[in-house]
DNA sequence: TTGTAGGCGTTATCAG
DNA sequence: CTGATAACGCCTACAA
């Protein structure tokens, strides 16, 4: 049997109230009493039961995190890490709800399993339905978006501007003289509206091309282990090889470069390639890409949420973090036509 | 104010016991009553409070996961994913305790923050002190090891045989005629005994070399963003370039291959390279490596733990999962001396 | 099949 | 500074 607060109180010749205070508000307890209690607690292997505390508090100290995707993806695992780095020390636990399809999502928002069972719901990276958001928020649970839209569906939101970031990339390529640029988009089997960033990036590409009078070419690959081969096949059967390739994410760009080189295309001499995310591999191979820092986003979000839950006014409700174009060695000036 | 079980009971003209049963043991409630209760619950936006249930049960429904490292590492995030895929649906939450140093570890095991606050403690991938393990287990909390030693410190354990797996790799290289083989080990800033698998792999390399009368060469790189450059520098300043390179993990091998090629070394024509893990990038570039499946390990561990917590006898206490050598395109027969 | 009542371990309030 | 006591919301014997 576990020892409880009663055992300690008895053994230490104090009331349970004093034991509780010793842990909760030590400053209200005389040092002598406190030491006695702590000694007994130590001896009896006692510590306050979080379940009981949580129960009596009425707060759940649980944060629901909806994940649309492989949990272990680059983005998601870093978001989690950032969130947990703040939440865990503050006594909150994260509870991961897998949302793989629109159906999952609908079911989540109609049964609201988090009702009374989570202090907040965090939605990274997918579009949300205004009605659903409203339904959740009407239960008093704040809804927080990370790279998600529309902003006004959320109590708080934090994001990067994927569209703008991709425009940066395209502008970079254009300034290097590229005019034949191909964009590779990764199609997910699951519902695409669960992948908010993906569509934003493609849109940014299209917009920037249009503004510069360039005919954009967007190619799709399905998100499976053959995605790079799919990309390569499409590239090599193009009537005109592009001079630059924009990939939706590093995880496509890195192996693509590898394979292009195997097929005799030198990067960036023959063709420039860009990524998005700034992953470890991007840094290692010198990929030109966009740096975003999901871990930081998670940590900031967590801090805001805690502040909100503690009843403070949150100054910034909707924040957009800056990103950085990392100009490295996989992009170079387009070869002049005369060189061909 | 949240509605509670009382409100529902009143509104539905039944006792709270009936409401509770409607959710807990629906089969014990007359269909008519049940429907009535559910209707009222729906109307009042009620659902059972997990906090209260957990509290009253006495179980915490929380599983502590000690992580030694970047949470978002390939291995750890997949372990988490596997664990959560089983735990979450079963009503358990994972609570991540960061253990970055021996000090953190000591402090964890001396203050035992999980005492009464977790149903089990999971330790992936680092060595554990028998005394500490005993201390924890004496509180009645099971301790589970994933790729951790020594086995008898744990209530349950599940692992791959890193040492044996690396021997497989070396044997493969030897069978291809390689005799000059270099092993690259990744040194972690944090205490090395927190990295159990790493030392096992290096040991496997040494053992297999010795058994084949080969003089082993182990080189270290520090785990920062320059690790690949460190490896390359060491390689290129060697009196004798090896014919094969064994990397402790894919994340070193993949960019190393990339850079070797930039320096004019063709893989595998000039030099063979192997990895360990079988990550996405390994598959994409055709790296010869060892496949391990941490997600599966996590899922199996979770199932066992739940079974244990439910009081069932667990048949297999210590399980070693098989791994698979993935022979791909980065290894080839060693060039005969005459060719040089 | 349903209701009654006790108890889970803590915290907060209020009195001393 | 400390003690007594009433919640907190649910579950489960046990009784009806």
**pLDDT tens, residue by residue, B290-305:** 999 999 999 999 999 9
Measure, in angstroms, how far nucleotide C16 C1' is from residue A43 CA. Answer: 31
Share the mean pLDDT of chain B: 92
Minimal CA separation from A317 to chain B, in Å: 25
Measure, in angstroms, how far nucleotide C7 C1' is from residue A56 CA. Answer: 15
Domain match, A145 and A97 both: yes
pLDDT at A332: 97
Instruction: Flag whether pLDDT at B197 surpasses 90.
Output: no
A10 touches strand C (CB under 7 A): no
pLDDT at A311: 87
Residue B218: band (very low, low, confident or very high) from pLDDT cuts 50, 70, 90: very high
Q: Do A255 and B52 touch (CB under 8 A)?
A: no
**Residue B334 domain-assigned (yes or no):** no
**Residue B336 domain-assigned (yes or no):** no
Domain match, B244 and B278 both: yes
Domain match, A223 and A182 both: yes
Q: Give the mean pLDDT of B225-242.
A: 95
- Cβ-based contacts of A94 with chain B (< 8 Å): 93-94, 96
pLDDT at B338: 44
Find the closest chain A residue to B139 by CA distance.
A45
Instruction: Flag whether pLDDT at B316 surpasses 90.
Output: no
The DSSP code for A338 is: G
pLDDT at A71: 86
CA A117 vs. chain centroid, Å, equals: 22
**Distance, CA of A94 to CA of A87 (rounded, Å):** 8
Into how many domains does chain A fold?
A: 3
Note down the domain range covering B89: 62-159+293-322
pLDDT at A339: 47
Q: Which nucleotides of chain C does any protein CB come within 7 A of?
A: 1-5, 7-13
Residue B234: band (very low, low, confident or very high) from pLDDT cuts 50, 70, 90: very high
**Residue A262 domain-assigned (yes or no):** yes
Domain match, A52 and A72 both: no
From B291, B308, B332, the end of a domain falls on B291
Domain match, A173 and A270 both: yes
Question: Which CA-bearing residue is nearest the C1' of D8?
Answer: A56
Instruction: Flag whether pLDDT at B310 surpasses 60.
Output: yes
**Distance, CA of B201 to CA of B246 (rounded, Å):** 10
Cα A143-A144-A146 angle, rounded to 5 deg: 150
**Residue A335 domain-assigned (yes or no):** no
Q: Give the mean pLDDT of B321-330.
A: 98
Measure, in angstroms, how far nucleotide C2 C1' is from residue B90 CA. Answer: 29
pLDDT at A191: 64
- Give the relative orientation of helices A250-262 and A227-236 as an angle to the nearest 10 degrees: 50
**Residue B213 domain-assigned (yes or no):** yes
Nearest to A228 among B97, B116, B284 (CB): B284
Residues 34-63 of B with CB under 7 A from strand C: 34, 55-56, 58
Measure, in angstroms, how far nucleotide D13 C1' is from residue B58 CA. Answer: 17
B59 touches strand D (CB under 7 A): no
Instruction: Flag whether pLDDT at B333 surpasses 80.
Output: yes
pLDDT at B125: 85
Domain match, A72 and A129 both: yes
- Cβ-based contacts of A295 with chain B (< 8 Å): 72
- What stretch of H or E contains A138? helix A130-138
The DSSP code for B237 is: T
Domain match, A77 and A134 both: yes
**Residue A48 domain-assigned (yes or no):** yes
- What stretch of H or E contains B220? strand B217-222
**Residue A142 domain-assigned (yes or no):** yes
Sequence-distant (6+) residues with CB within 8 A of B256 are B184, B228, B231, B232, B245, B247, B273
**pLDDT tens, residue by residue, B122-137:** 999 877 889 999 988 8
pLDDT at B194: 61
Q: Do A80 and B71 touch (CB under 8 A)?
A: yes
Measure, in angstroms, how far nucleotide D14 C1' is from residue B19 CA. Answer: 18
Nearest to A55 among B52, B113, B285 (CB): B52
- Cβ-based contacts of B62 with chain A (< 8 Å): 50, 93
Measure, in angstroms, how far nucleotide D4 C1' is from residue A12 CA. Answer: 17
Looking at per-residue pLDDT, the higher value among B115 and B62 belongs to B62
Q: Which residues in chain A show pLDDT less than 50?
A: 338-340
**What's the token pair of residue B81?**
């994913």
Domain match, A109 and A179 both: no
Question: Which CA-bearing residue is nearest the C1' of C8?
Answer: B56
pLDDT at A129: 87
**pLDDT tens, residue by residue, A36-48:** 999 999 888 888 9
pLDDT above 90 as % of chain B:
76
A76-90, A123-137, B52-66, B151-165: least confident range = A123-137
Number of residues assigned to chain B: 340
pLDDT at A139: 85
Strand ranges for B44-124 from DSSP E: 62-67, 93-98, 120-124
Minimal CA separation from B210 to chain A, in Å: 33
With CA of B48 and C1' of each nucleotide, the nearest comes out as: D10
Domain match, A28 and A145 both: no
pLDDT above 70 as % of chain B:
96
pLDDT at A1: 56
B4 touches strand D (CB under 7 A): yes
Q: Give the mean pLDDT of B30-34.
A: 93
Which of B46, B48, B51 is most worth mutating to test chain A (most A CB atoms within 10 A of its CB)?
A: B51
B29 touches strand C (CB under 7 A): yes
Q: Do B71 and A55 touch (CB under 8 A)?
A: no
Find the closest chain A residue to B250 by CA distance.
A281
**Residue A251 domain-assigned (yes or no):** yes
Which residues, listed in sequence order, are joined to residue B261 by a DSSP beta bridge?
Answer: none
Instruction: Flag whether pLDDT at B1 surpasses 60.
Output: no
Nearest to B95 among A2, A58, A88 (CB): A88
**Predicted structure pTM score:** 0.94
Domain match, A94 and A209 both: no
Indicate if the alpha-carbon torsion angle B18, B21, B26, B28 is positive or negative: negative
Q: Do A115 and B47 touch (CB under 8 A)?
A: yes
Domain match, A136 and A280 both: no
CATH code for position B16: 1.10.260.40
Domain match, B275 and B235 both: yes
CATH code for position B259: 3.40.50.2300
With CA of A3 and C1' of each nucleotide, the nearest comes out as: C9
């Amino acid at each position: 049997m576990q020892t409880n607060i009663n055992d300690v109180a008895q053994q230490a010749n104090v009331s349970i109230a004093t034991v509780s205070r010793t842990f909760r508000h030590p400053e209200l307890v005389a040092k002598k009493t406190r030491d006695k209690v702590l000694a007994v607690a130590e001896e009896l292997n006692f510590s306050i039961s979080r379940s009981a505390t949580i129960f009596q508090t009425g707060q759940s100290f649980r944060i629901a995190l909806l994940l649309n995707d492989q949990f272990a993806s680059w983005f998601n695992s870093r978001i989690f890490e950032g969130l947990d780095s703040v939440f865990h020390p503050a006594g909150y636990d994260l509870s991961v709800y897998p949302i793989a399809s629109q159906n999952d999502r609908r079911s989540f928002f109609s049964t609201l399993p988090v009702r009374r069972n989570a202090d907040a719901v965090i939605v990274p990276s997918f579009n949300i339905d205004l009605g659903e958001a409203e339904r959740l928020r009407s239960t008093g649970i704040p809804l927080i978006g990370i790279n998600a839209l529309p902003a006004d569906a959320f109590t708080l939101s934090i994001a990067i501007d994927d569209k703008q970031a991709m425009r940066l990339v395209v502008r970079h390529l254009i300034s290097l003289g590229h005019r034949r640029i191909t964009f590779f988009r990764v199609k997910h089997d699951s519902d695409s509206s669960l992948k908010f960033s993906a569509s934003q990036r493609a849109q940014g590409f299209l917009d920037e091309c249009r503004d510069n009078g360039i005919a954009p070419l967007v190619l799709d690959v399905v998100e499976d282990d053959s995605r790079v081969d799919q990309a390569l096949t499409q590239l090599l059967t193009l009537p005109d090889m592009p001079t630059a390739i924009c990939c939706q994410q590093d995880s496509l760009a890195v192996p693509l470069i590898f394979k292009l080189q195997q097929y005799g295309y030198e990067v960036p001499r023959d063709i420039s390639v860009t990524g998005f995310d700034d992953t470890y591999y991007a840094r290692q191979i010198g990929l030109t890409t966009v740096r975003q820092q999901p871990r930081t986003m998670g940590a900031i979000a967590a801090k805001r949420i805690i502040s909100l839950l503690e009843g403070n006014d949150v100054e910034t409700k909707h924040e957009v973090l800056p990103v950085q174009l990392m100009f490295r060695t996989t992009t170079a000036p387009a070869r002049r036509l005369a060189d061909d």
